[in-house]
Amino acid sequence: MLLRLFRLIFVLCLAFPTLAAASPFMDKIGLRNAIRVGLTGDYAPFSTFDPATGTYEGLDVDLAHSLAKKLGVHVIFVHTSWPTLADDLKAQKFDIAMGGISITPAREAIGLFSHPVISDGKTPITLCKNVKRFQTLKQIDKPGVRLVVNPGGTNEKFARAHISKATIIVHPDNKSIFQEIIFGHADLMITDAIEARLQAKLHPTLCAVHPDHPFDHTEKAFWMPRDWTWQKLVNKWLDEMKKSGELKAKIDEWVD
C-alpha cells in the first residue's frame, strides 16, 4: 500500500512538479492505485455502456484512460445516473465524474469543476417533417405538444424552467428516449446540440432543429469532490492536453 502511495507521489513529482504535495484525497488514490471515474453510460458520444461486454466507450472514457496514464494508475469506472449523480459525488463514490456534465451553479455548490472541456447548448430534436414547427420555445410551449425528457439532468431542468403549457413526458431510459419521438409517443426533445447532431445522424427520420444556434450556452467539464490539489492536477493535465493538440484530436474523433 505504501509503495503505491510513494509511487503516485513520485509520478506527480515528475509529471506535475508544482503540484507534488499530496492531499489526503490524493493519498487514497495512491493507496488504491486507481482513479474511480463516475459515468452514466447513457450519453453518447461522451460515455456509453455495453451490458453485453460490461465495457464503456466514448470521448470521456478515452480521456479517463489518458488521465490515469498520466498519473501512472489504473481506472475503475463506477456506474452512476443523472438523478443520483449529485448524491453519489457527495458520498465520494468516485473521484471524478465524467461523461458530458454541464457546469451549473447547483453543481458548483456541491463540488469542484475542471476547466471547461467543450461548449454546448440546448436545442430541439424532432421528426424532420416537424422542424419548422419547433423553432422557438414559444412554438414548443403550446397545449398538445409532447416534450420528452430524461430525468435528473439539465435537460429536465431546462424543460421545467421554460415549459408550462406543453406536456412534459419523463422517460427514464436515455438510450431509448429518441425512439419515443420516432414511434410517435412524443413530439420532440430538447437536449444538448452535440447529442442532437449525433442522434440525427443515427436516426435519419430525426433532425436537430438549430444545433448551431442553441437556446442557451453551457460548458461541459469534469466534476469532483472539493479537493483543491486534485482539481489543480486535473486542470494541469487538461492544459497540457489542449496545448499538445491531443484534446482537440480526441474531440474531433468522437464529436461531429
pLDDT tens-digit readout, 20-62: 456 888 889 989 999 999 999 999 999 999 999 999 999 999 9
Catalogue all structural domains in the chain, each as residue range(s) with its CATH number: 2-119+219-254 (3.40.190.10), 122-208 (3.40.190.10)
The whole-angstrom separation of Cα 29 and Cα 26 is 5
Q: What are phi and psi of 9, to 5 degrees?
A: -60, -40
Question: Do 88 and 80 contact (CB within 8 A), yes or no?
Answer: yes
List the Cα angle 247/249/255 in 5-degree steps: 95
Percentage of the residues of the chain whose pLDDT score is greater than 70: 91
User: Would the pLDDT of 132 be above 60?
Assistant: yes
Chain centroid to Cα 194, Å, comes to 11
The whole-angstrom separation of Cα 108 and Cα 124 is 26
pLDDT digits (tens, 9 = 90+) for 167-206: 999 999 999 999 999 999 999 999 999 999 999 999 999 9
The whole-angstrom separation of Cα 84 and Cα 122 is 22
DSSP 146-193: EEEE-TTSHHHHHHHHH-SSSEEEE-S-TTTHHHHHHTTS-SEEEEEH
The whole-angstrom separation of Cα 152 and Cα 159 is 11
Task: Write the Ramachandran bin of 201: left for phi over 0, alpha for psi from -120 to 50, otherwise beta.
Answer: alpha
Average pLDDT, integer, range 102-124? 97
Q: What are phi and psi of 152, to 5 degrees?
A: 90, -15
Residue type, 43: Y
- The four Cα atoms 82, 86, 92, 98 give a dihedral, to 10 degrees, of 50
Residues 6+ apart with CB under 8 A from 251: 59, 117, 118
| Per-residue model confidence (pLDDT) at position 115 | 98
Cis peptide before 45 (omega within 30 of 0): yes
Residue written as grid cell 468522437: 254
